[in-house]
Chains A and B, each alone.
Chain A
Amino acid sequence: MSLLSPFGALGRATLALMAVVGRVALFALTALSHVLRPPFYARELGLALLNIGWLSLPVVGLTAIFTGAALALQIYSGGARFNAEAVVPQIVAIGMVRELGPVLVGLMIAARVTSSIAAEIATMKVTEQIDALVTLSTDPMKYLVAPRVLAGLIVVPLLVAVGDVIGIFGGYAVATGSLGFNAAAYLKNTMDFLEPLDVISSLVKGCAFGGLAALMGCYFGMASGRGAQGVGRATKGSVEAAAVLILAANFLLTGAFFTL
């Protein structure tokens, strides 16, 4: 082994990473171009909206309510150290709307929807259903990918909005039920403190996370290897990639909205 071997290995790893980034970027551009160009498959879009949106509501709601409730308890006990217990409504609101609502919904969608999309498309690939689509004059990017990506872009911001509201309600329920806050004052403080930019950032993050989650599911599904192992790898890889990209995008979007 020469002294330069580690550099060679680093170079190969970098090139491999760049190749993956390039493939994902090309896939994303192709998918988005199909979102904008006919033909559109309304039934597939409807099913994707139902699966990503409506059927994710229970898990999103439960995640948000427990997070909001725990957040209220943490802020109350932490704030007590410097006599700032009264800021619970404001911090719960800003914490849920700006950060926890979008991120937790994004991660829940990555766990629930990205994995399901990747497994479904990978299984279709393994069982030659993707080839069958092509022979039936149907572009898989248009029929399978575009509706799911569009549904992610449309419906995840709505889920984030619902998650924000339920999370704030979780904080409200704990604060008024066991921490002695006045219900009307809690709601007033929440409403007064939130600014339009907080809500807009939340919805934009939801849109970005929904698109990323759906794209990763579709990409890993379409790029799946053979057999059950290929489907398993595609599913695992899609969730890992979606989660990391969502957290990275969250950092970038937070910086763009609140520090620039």
Chain B
Amino acid sequence: MIDLSHVSKAFGENRVLRDVTLTIDKGTSMVIIGGSGTGKSVLLKCILGLVTPDSGTISLDGQDVTKADRDAFLARFGMLFQGAALFDSLPVWQNVAFRLLRGSLQKPRDEARAIAIDKLRRVGLKPDVADRFPAELSGGMQKRVGLARAIAADPEIIFFDEPTTGLDPIMAGVINELIREIVTEMGATAMTITHDMTSVRAIADRVAMLHDGVIQWTGPVSQLDSSGDAYVDQFISGRAEGPIEAVR
């Protein structure tokens, strides 16, 4: 279980997160929605320790993440970045098996390659992609490789940062289905940040809406359309009129 309690973060005068309190139960898929610049990515990076909160606590299974053994903590996570964030200088299979080629999860090179190819197959890519470089792949293929890398070490928790941004609707649908299938079959806890409502409905068990650094609403995805929250209603219907200012 991931527990955020009164987390705040500011960059200079810009207060990105304001007293955020949120719980993500083990094995559930939580999707954080909200417009651009509302603090979704910062929230995710705070959990991973990439950004240090100014105040508040973040705990994983009851243990404060800032006091946990960093390697052991990160070994439990997998993450798909918005732009895939693949390492240009490494072939695809070494990107996927990055964690398996070094550190505490290191495996023999042949075994790591076999796992990488298996994970590539799992995300619908053929083994011949393994020896290509990221720059030779389309955006959709890069996202799949990023997904394969996120699940390579069979993590307990997977984060997805805008998984469908920049993809055509068909490829976005494929990625959404893959995420749902993988999270279900691995029994992983998932946290996705997106403003793509198709992704929300495909991936989420629960949804939280972040606006202006504050969690405006949280609840099961089945209640999203009847939340009664003006912010959520405006966001999911895509209206310019409402409490959310269209120009931020």
Contact = CB atoms under 8 A, between A and B. Distances in A.
A128 B165 CA distance: 15
Interface stretch (B69-77, B115-123, B234-242): B69-77
B103 A137 contact: yes
A134 B50 contact: yes
Contacts of B81: 128, 131-132
Contacts of A39: 102-103
- The CB with the most chain B CB atoms within 10 A, among A39, A47, A124, A134, is that of A134
B167 interface: no
A135 B103 contact: no
A164 B79 CA distance: 50
A135 B71 contact: no
Interface size grouping (class) on chain B:
20 to 34
A12 to B, nearest CB: 17
B104 interface: yes
Given A39-B102, A131-B45, A137 B83 contact: no
B79 A138 contact: no
Interface in A212-231: none
Nearest to B78: A135
Contacts of A33: none
B75 A137 contact: yes
B87 A135 contact: no
B103 A132 contact: no
Interface in B187-215: none
Contacts of B75: 137
Nearest to A131: B50
A1 interface: no
B26 interface: no
B98 interface: yes
B48 interface: yes
A244 B86 CA distance: 34
B48 A134 contact: yes
B107 interface: no
Contact of A135 (B50, B82, B83): B50
Given A134-B74, A135-B50, A138-B103, A129 B87 contact: yes
15 contacts: A39-B103, A128-B81, A128-B82, A128-B83, A129-B86, A129-B87, A131-B45, A132-B81, A135-B74, A135-B78, A136-B74, A137-B74, A137-B99, A138-B98, A138-B102
Given A39-B102, A135-B79, A137-B74, 14 more contacts: A47-B89, A127-B85, A128-B81, A128-B82, A128-B83, A129-B86, A131-B81, A131-B85, A132-B79, A134-B49, A135-B78, A136-B74, A136-B98, A138-B103
